[in-house]
Structure 1
Amino acid sequence: MRESDANRIRQLQLLATISDEAFAQITRGALVQTFPAGANLIYEADSVDFLYILIDGMVELQGHWHDKESTLAVLRPISTFILAAVVLDAPALMAARTLSRSQIVMLPAETFRAAMREDPGFSVAVAQELSGCYRGLVRTIKNHKLRSGTERLANYLLTQQVRQGGGDTVELLYEKRILASLLDLTPESLSRAFAQLDKYGVAVTGSRVVIGNAAGLRKLARPNALIDNHQPPRGDVQGKAAKELWPLPGDRGCGMEVE
């Protein structure tokens, strides 16, 4: 693995405090691969030989049952996935595929577990990461069970507004059918939810969404720190809206939050 790639993944909170010896151990034998859009990385029930770290591109995590499939999360850099399966040496519960050309670091699972056994500080970091994953999953469940589809969409748009710099225009980063599945909606329900947001100044043209009345949208969405985990862009985010959307300390979500 190139030094530049090693430095990038070392920025992850999961790996920030690992000893140099343990880091060298888990990156020995690591693979760095570039995949085209639409590449299947993992299938459900696969044995897990690597921890995956997305360093460029976009990855969708999916669940399947008979002829149905659902988007569970959409990941952007830098993100790990299937950490719990690696720790437990268990089959994957989710499938993963690329939504765009993606570069992924693959750390051997066995050496990862060995480093956990030998480096107590690293084990604590893994426990903290998995705790963040659990809390992110709880947030997602609460979002889906306690809010209407329109409220879920409103909060999604507010999340993206913060993450994309706080302006009035939000770019949808993937197809609307994926967004619908991510929000636990049908494509038809998503269209109706967008129509209901028209009164709040939300106008959609292709992948471009203009938010004409952010204050009204926040009043409808009622963002809540115990459900939402909006990540601000780099640097300080100012204003009342940013404070309402600020995440609680320690929450990361491991891709299980609503992106």
Structure 2
Amino acid sequence: MRTQDIDEMRRLPFFRDVEAGNVDAMLRSAFLQRFPAHVELVRDGEPADFLHVIIEGTVEMFSGHRDRETTLGVSGPGESFILAAVLLDRPYLQSARALSAARILMLPADAVRQAFAADAGFARALAAGTAQAYRGVVRELKNQKLRSGLERLANWLLTHDVECGSRGRFDFPFDKKVLAARLGMAPEVLSRSFAALAAYDVVVRGPSVCINDVDALRKLARPSPTIDGTNI
């Protein structure tokens, strides 16, 4: 990496409590790369050679079996993937691809494990990341098992609206096909669900969404802090 890139990476919150020498050791062997949209970054079943930290862009975690494929999650700037495989030195259990143009820091897995063993601050950061990922899996499991598809969509719309500044208007951050898979439904079911939301004054035109009655949508969604967090 260039000197200015190394200086930028040192300031990542990811390294906030890590000893400077250990940060430098990881960065000396790391890569900072730009990827165009739709490029596959890691593949299910392959060895976990790098810990990836997203600097810019969005990344989709997905997996397939036989002739089926589904989205498992979407990550953005400041988030890492797929941490558990790196720490355990095991194959990836999911694949990842860039949903948009992305800039990603790639830390060699061996260097990550060495720093994890040697640096308590780094170990705490990775433990916190693993715990957050686990809680995310539990939230998603509850979301999928305890809600209808329409309720999942309503909660996703409310959550994304908050992320966009609670203006009641936003563009989809990725293709609707990805959103359908993310919510555990077929694309045609997603289309019918959007049509059903017209009764709650939600208007979808192409890539744009307008939530005209947030209270009505909230009554349908019934957001829960143990599933959706406390922001909606």
Q: How high is the TM-score relative to the length of structure 1?
A: 0.85
Deviation at 1:59, TM superposition (A): 1.3
Which residue is equivalent to 2:187? 187
Q: Match for 2:87: what amino acid?
A: V
Amino acid at match of 1:112: V
CA distance in 1, matches of 2:19, 2:4: 18
CA deviation map 1:41-96 (0-9, x unaligned): 11111111111111112211111101100011112212211111110010001111
Task: Trace 1:34-113 onto structure 2 (pairs within 5 A).
Answer: 34-113=34-113
d(CA) in 2 for partners of 1:6 and 1:80?
18
Q: Which residue of 2 aligns with 1:217?
A: 217
User: Does residue 31 of structure 1 match 2:31?
Assistant: yes
User: In 2, distance between residues paired with 1:43 and 1:109?
Assistant: 15
- Does the CA-based 8 Å contact 1:223-1:245 persist in structure 2? no
- Contact 2:52–2:82 under 8 Å retained in 1: yes
User: In structure 1, how many angstroms separate the alpha carbons of the residues matched to 2:231 and 2:8?
Assistant: 27
Answer whether contact 1:177 1:187 (CA < 8 A) is retained: yes
Q: Which runs of 5+ in 1 are unaligned?
A: 230-243, 247-259
What is the one-letter code of the residue matched to 1:166?
S
Q: CA deviation at 1:7?
A: 5.3
- 5+ long unaligned stretches in structure 2: none
Letter in 2 for 1:245: N
Q: Retained in 2: the 8 A contact 1:172–1:208?
A: yes
Aligned to 1:127: 127
**Percent of aligned pairs sharing the same letter:** 43
Instruction: Give aligned pairs, total.
Output: 232
Q: Indicate the RMSD between aligned Cα atoms, in angstroms.
A: 1.5
Between the aligned partners of 1:7 and 1:208, the Cα distance in structure 2 is 38
| Closer/same/farther in 2, CA of residues 198 and 46 from structure 1, 3 Å limit | same
Please identify which structure carries the higher helix content. Answer: 2
**Residues 52, 107 of structure 2: 8 Å contact kept:** yes
The one-letter code sitting in structure 2 at the alignment partner of 1:211 is: I
Report what 2:138 is aligned to.
Answer: 138
2:208 corresponds to 1:245: no
Cα separation, 1, equivalents of 2:96 and 2:124: 27
Whether contact under 8 Å (2:14, 2:78) holds in the other structure is: no
Offset, 1:9: 4.5
Distance 1:10 1:142 in 2: 37
Amino acid at match of 1:55: I
CA distance in 2, matches of 1:92, 1:156: 27
Task: Say which SS state the counterpart of residue 245 (structure 1) adopts.
Answer: coil
TM-aligned CA deviation for residue 5 of structure 1? 4.1
TM-superposed CA distance for 1:15, in Å, is: 2.3
Q: Would the aligned equivalents of 1:13 and 1:125 in 2 still touch at CA under 8 Å?
A: no
CA distance in 2 between counterparts of 1:216 and 1:14 reads: 39
- Does the CA contact (< 8 Å) of 1:9 and 1:78 recur in 2? no
The one-letter amino acid paired with 1:74 is: V
The C-alpha deviation readout for 1:102-132, integer Å capped at 9, x for no partner, is 1111001101100111112221221111011
* 1:228 counterpart residue number: 228
The letter for the 1-side match of 2:205 is T
Q: Within 2, Cα distance between the matches of 1:2 and 1:202?
A: 47
Any runs of at least 4 consecutive aligned residues in structure 1 with deviations exceeding 3 A, and if so which?
A: 2-14
Counterpart secondary structure, 1:227: helix
